[in-house]
Structure formats: C-alpha cells, structure tokens
Amino acid sequence: MTNDNGEQRAPRISVIGTGYLGATHAAAMAEMGFEVIGVDTDPNKVDALSQGIVPFYEPGLPELLRKHVGTGQLRFTTDIEAATAFADVHFVCVGTPQQSTSFAANLSYVEDATRQVAKHLTHDGLIVGKSTVPVGTAARLRGIVHENLPAGVTAELVWNPEFLREGKAVQDTLAPDRLVLGGTTAASEAMLRTVYAEPIANGTPVLVMDLPTAELVKVSANAFLATKISFINAISEVCAAVGADVTLLADALGHDVRIGRQFLNAGLGFGGGCLPKDIRALMHRSSELGAHSASDLLQQVDEINMRQRQLVIDHALAACGGSVLNRRIGVLGAAFKPDTDDVRDSPALNVAAALQLRGAQVTVFDPQATTSAARIFPALGYADSAATAIQGADVVLVLTEWPEFVDADPREFAALVKAQNIVDGRNCLDGQAWAAAGWNVRTIGRAPVQSASAASASQGAYAFA
C-alpha cells in the first residue's frame, strides 16, 4: 500500500456493521495501529459511536472507543461508498439472525453488505467475512462479489470467523486464542497476517483452511459448548433422582484434561444472541445436507436446554405451595450471562415472563440489563436495586450469576423478604450459608437445603429436587 506521495503505508480498514461484533472489531483494529472506518445503516448508532458512546455494555470497549475516536484513528459513517473508497481491507460484521419462519439463518444482511462493498470498490480490495454463516454461504458471496465489481477492479473474498465471548470481547479480539483464515490465496493470507501481525507476534496460532471448513469452525464450536451445557444439565436430572451433587460431579469431571471444567455448570441453561440461533442454523443446514446425525443431536441439545427453564419455573411453583398467583417474586438477573446487557433469548427473562403469565407479581433487577429487558418485556416490573426487587417477595430467583448476587449477604436479604425461599437457577450460591441464615434453597441437580427451622418442622422429610 502506498500513500499519495508514493510512500508505503499500512492497509486501511473498513468494518461493515457496527453492532456488538463490528464495534468491538473496529476499536480493536484501531488499537492495533490501523486507520479504521466503521459503517452502519443506522444513523443514530453512527452518531453515538462517533461521540465515543457504546450503545451496549461491554467491559473495556468504551475506553478503547473514546481513545481512538478522539485521535481520529477511528471514524464512523453511514456512507459505504466513501468507506470502500478509503479502505483496502473490508470486514463484514453484520448480523445473521434466525429467520422468523424457520431455524435457518437470515443471510440478507450479509449478502447486502457484501454486495454494497463490491459495488462501490474504487480500487482492488480484500473482503473478509466475520459473520457467523451456514456452510456454503461464502461460495455464494463470491458470486455476488464477481457480479457487482466495477470494471477494472478486482477483489478477493475470504473468511475469518470471530470467536468473541461477551464480557471479554476486547480481550478476545486483541489476543485471540486462534486465527482462522479460510479460502485465502498467498496474497490475501499475507494481507491478513499484516493486519493481525500484533497478536501473531504474541503467539496466537494461525490456522489456514478452505472456505467450508472455516465457515464450520464457529458454529461447530458453539454447538460443542451448547452440547456440554446440555449434557451436564441432563446428568443433573440423574443427580436429582439419586441425591447426588451435580456441582461436585462436574468438579471431578473437570479434572480430566480431555473434558475440562468450563461449560459444565448445571443450571438454567444457555441463551444469548449466538448459541441458540447458531445451533438451530447448524441443525437446519445439517438437515438440508442430509447429515441427520448432527441435526438429531442438536435437536436434543436444544430441547434439554429449553427444559431447564421449565424446571426453574417448577421450583418457583413448589416454593410457593404449587401456585404463584398473586405471589411476589423477586428475579435477580435479566442478561443471559454476567458482564453483558444482552437479553436476547435470555432464559432469565423467559422464566420471569412465564411466572408473570401465571399470575405472579414479578420484579426484575439486573446490574446492566434492566433497561434492555424493559424494552423487550415492558409488562414486567423492574427495580433499580436487588433490595428493591426482592422487597416483600415470597420467593427470590437468582437467574444470572452476577458477582453482587453471588456475594450477597443472606442475612441482609432475609430482612427484606416475606418468605425466605430462594431458587438458585445458576447453582452459584453457597447453599449451606444461605440455609444457615434461615433460607430454604432450591438448586439444579443438588439436594435442596432447608433452613434449620424448616428442617425441624418437617422432621427432615424433604424430597430431592
């Protein structure tokens, strides 16, 4: 790359789509020293980002954004024509949500973004797909690029999937655990190695492969993680039946290096904007391809995951004597996991809404996601603190394992509620400590723990849950 004076310069980067993935990727590329322009069709989002305001919660991202917007290293625009004229490498980071009528991914956004980049190229460029797509998509996008390129301009389309964890996205972009480059030529691989020179120099491995394999890496990784979660939740049912402790079991399993401890936490199950829609898209695509073993497995994974929500609802019903009609329920947690305000397909909100439909008076609090939750479920009650949410409650549900809930003082909470019943939907509380403070504790795949007074009254007769 050369500047107007014929001097060598670093490649310039455009990022198409400035949602969770795109905004993070754009800020991280600027942090790595590149001039970056982010593109979005939403002018309100562009205005916010241009002022250094992140429209969602992600630790570390606001600081990174303000730093590079302030220096001019990072800019945002709605003008894709100007962005493609400016940049040499174009990262496509738009969403691929589930279709409204099937489990298939909606690819209209990624197709349109690719088409717009190709159409407006003024010089040779590299188009890099980062969106999570069904296998076979990239080959079709190459056809779209070919059909829309201006005369005399060449462009290559390759795939470089993302592996971001919400709550740790900045770290995962600046220091990824692997870089997957799919469908590259020698020239495009060299360009991407230039773009990622910093993490590569710091030891990040680079895996070069064909397009279909690269497309499958992200969805397969998500499917495997989802399977681990559903596996331990299925085993928790066995533990409940025999009085075993699924958390201790998971600890023991986790010492096996072939298995590992991560994603072996029994509880309410997975949610969010990635795992549910990605496993369903893979299920749909596998069925289309006749790979029925994969689609059948993922169907079971999905069903087990959804059953966990009903199990928590059943615990709440049991704690209230079989009915939640006109009972006060305090729900702690709305985000699908801590360190994010993402409430897409949140199991916590699904449970809260289901209990409200059964006649309960439900009040929700989340340290970051209360506002996001209220936009999607406006009929639920919301509080500005955990104490307000559980005031006068007949049962408290811990549905997102935020540290402030895990570390809460059970004696302080006891003074606020009407009845000391708590459902630990994430198996994150010290049940013995809560029971010692007078609480009746219900969990997933572990024996419920009664307060001393309740245990005495029932003479120890207490069924495993």
Considering 161, 190, 209, which residue would you say is the last residue of a domain? 209
> What range defines the domain where residue 113 resides?
13-209
Q: Are residues 274 and 227 in the same domain?
A: yes
Mean pLDDT of 461-465: 36
Q: Are residues 422 and 454 in the same domain?
A: yes
31 against 454, higher pLDDT: 31
pLDDT for the residue numbered 310: 97
Q: Are residues 344 and 440 in the same domain?
A: yes
**Alpha carbons 124 and 149: distance in angstroms, whole number:** 10
Q: Is the pLDDT of residue 336 over 70?
A: yes
Q: What CATH number should be reported for the domain holding residue 215?
A: 3.40.50.720
Is 1 within a domain? no
Is 443 within a domain? yes
Residue 434 to residues 316, 409, 414, Cα–Cα distance (Å): 17, 8, 9
Q: Are residues 188 and 306 in the same domain?
A: no
Q: Are residues 284 and 214 in the same domain?
A: yes
Please give the angle made by the CA atoms of 193, 122 and 153, to the nearest 5 degrees: 75
Q: Are residues 198 and 328 in the same domain?
A: no
Q: Are residues 392 and 437 in the same domain?
A: yes
Active site residue 428: no
Considering 187, 209, 231, which residue would you say is the last residue of a domain? 209
**Alpha carbons 36 and 14: distance in angstroms, whole number:** 6
Mean pLDDT of 143-157: 96
Average pLDDT taken over every residue of the chain: 94
Q: Are residues 287 and 173 in the same domain?
A: no
Q: Is the pLDDT of residue 463 over 90?
A: no
Q: Is the pLDDT of residue 4 over 90?
A: no
Each residue's pLDDT tens digit, 19-77:
999 999 999 999 999 999 999 999 999 999 999 999 999 999 999 999 999 999 999 99
Q: Are residues 244 and 205 in the same domain?
A: no
Each residue's pLDDT tens digit, 153-206:
999 999 999 999 999 999 999 999 999 999 999 999 999 999 999 999 999 999
Is 360 within a domain? yes
Is 368 within a domain? yes
Q: Which token pair is 35?
A: 């001039």
Give the number of domains in the chain: 2
Residue of 93, 239, 274, 428 with catalytic role: 274
Is 403 within a domain? yes
Q: Are residues 156 and 305 in the same domain?
A: no
Considering 209, 224, 251, which residue would you say is the last residue of a domain? 209
Is 50 within a domain? yes
pLDDT for the residue numbered 454: 60
Q: Are residues 194 and 246 in the same domain?
A: no
Is 136 within a domain? yes
Mean pLDDT of 373-382: 96
Torsion of CA 445, 451, 455, 458, to 10 degrees: -90
Q: Are residues 205 and 239 in the same domain?
A: no
